[in-house]
Amino acid sequence: MSTNKVALITGANKGLGFEIARQLGQQGITVVLSARDEAKGKAAADQLKAEGIDAHSVKLDVNKADDIAALPAFFEKNFGRLDILVNNAGINLDKGLQTSPESFRQTYETNVIAPWFIARALLPLLKDSPAGRIVNHSSILGSLTILSTEMRDAILPAYNSSKSALNMLTVQLANALRDTRIKVNAGHPGWVKTDMGGEQAPMEIVDGAKTAVTLALLPDDGPTGGYFHAGQPLPW
Ligand SMILES: NC(=O)c1ccc[n+]([C@@H]2O[C@H](COP(=O)([O-])OP(=O)(O)OC[C@H]3O[C@@H](n4cnc5c(N)ncnc54)[C@H](OP(=O)(O)O)[C@@H]3O)[C@@H](O)[C@H]2O)c1
């Protein structure tokens, strides 16, 4: 069994997922970068290895049930443990009021259904960890309170509602696991310069990763079932 803590980060071949893996790795955690494109996942892990991080990769298309089903055996065999799951992979296909039914379905598959079933598959391993942590990468755009007040112009019906649903799943899972050591929280990274966030985003990736990293490393007396940005609770 690995003596290091082990973390799985989904959608880690680029963007925030890659940087979250790097920052967890810099804290001495063994990181497993998952990507739907196996070669991109390996290249990303190799880049972190070259920086001195204990990095590995695994193929995971979060929408493929077989890929999810293979995860527990992968961690059992290679590390004998899993301590941290960061459900980071996400998509935004919205075109405002013109968003198609197919885009809705794909968005919900990736942003809502996948994180739930990935977490569920890995619960037995996470329950064995002394400090199991699940971080769901949400968005401020999932806040019903903020979207009905100061952000009324953000019309992204599939993406925004998928993040509201992910927030609810965070609460559901935290409640279901309240008698365990596992903590489950949702994090908003900020508006970050990535392929999704765009060049005009004000926040650099290195700063955007910090919320998820903090939630992944919460102490035993830290919160569960919450929704946070930069250490502060967000309104649901
Ligand atoms: N950037 C922001 O401003 C911002 C703000 C709030 C929340 N977030 C959230 O933060 C997370 C990361 O976003 P980002 O800005 O880093 O976006 P990004 O640069 O577009 O990266 C998204 C990642 O998700 C992966 N992904 C998408 N569908 C997948 C699938 N079916 N299976 C496996 N991986 C899949 C992508 O893989 P491919 O390379 O193969 O496409 C990529 O690695 C998302 O959940 C997003 O909603 C971002």
Domain that holds residue 121: 6-233
186 contacts 140 by C-beta, under 8 angstroms? no
Residues 6+ apart with CB under 8 A from 189: 16, 137, 139, 203, 208, 209, 211, 212, 229
Average pLDDT over residues 110-137: 98
Is 41 inside any structural domain?
yes
179 alpha carbon to ligand 1 midpoint, in Å?
A: 31
pLDDT digits (tens, 9 = 90+) for 34-56: 999 999 999 999 999 999 999 99
pTM of the prediction? Answer: 0.98
9 alpha carbon to ligand 1 midpoint, in Å?
A: 11
* Statement: residue 203 has pLDDT above 90: yes
Average pLDDT over residues 157-182: 98
Residue 121 is predicted with a pLDDT of: 98
**So which residues are the catalytic ones?**
159
Average pLDDT over the chain, rounded to an integer: 98
User: How far, in Å, CA of 36 to CA of 18, rounded?
Assistant: 13
Is 92 inside any structural domain?
yes
User: How far, in Å, CA of 79 to CA of 88, rounded?
Assistant: 21
* Statement: residue 1 has pLDDT above 90: no
Is 1 inside any structural domain?
no
Give the residue, out of 139, 196, 229, with the most ligand 1 atoms within 8 A of its beta carbon, to mutate for a pocket test: 196
Is 203 inside any structural domain?
yes
Residue 2 is predicted with a pLDDT of: 86
pLDDT digits (tens, 9 = 90+) for 87-101: 999 999 999 999 999
172 alpha carbon to ligand 1 midpoint, in Å?
A: 23
Is 58 inside any structural domain?
yes
> Measuring CA to CA, how many Å separate 147 from each of 2, 108, 113, 187?
44, 19, 23, 16
The number of distinct structural domains making up the chain is 1
Domain with residue 227: its CATH number is 3.40.50.720
Residues with CB under 6 A from ligand 1: 11, 13-17, 36-37, 60-63, 88-91, 110, 137, 139, 188-189, 191-192, 194-197, 201
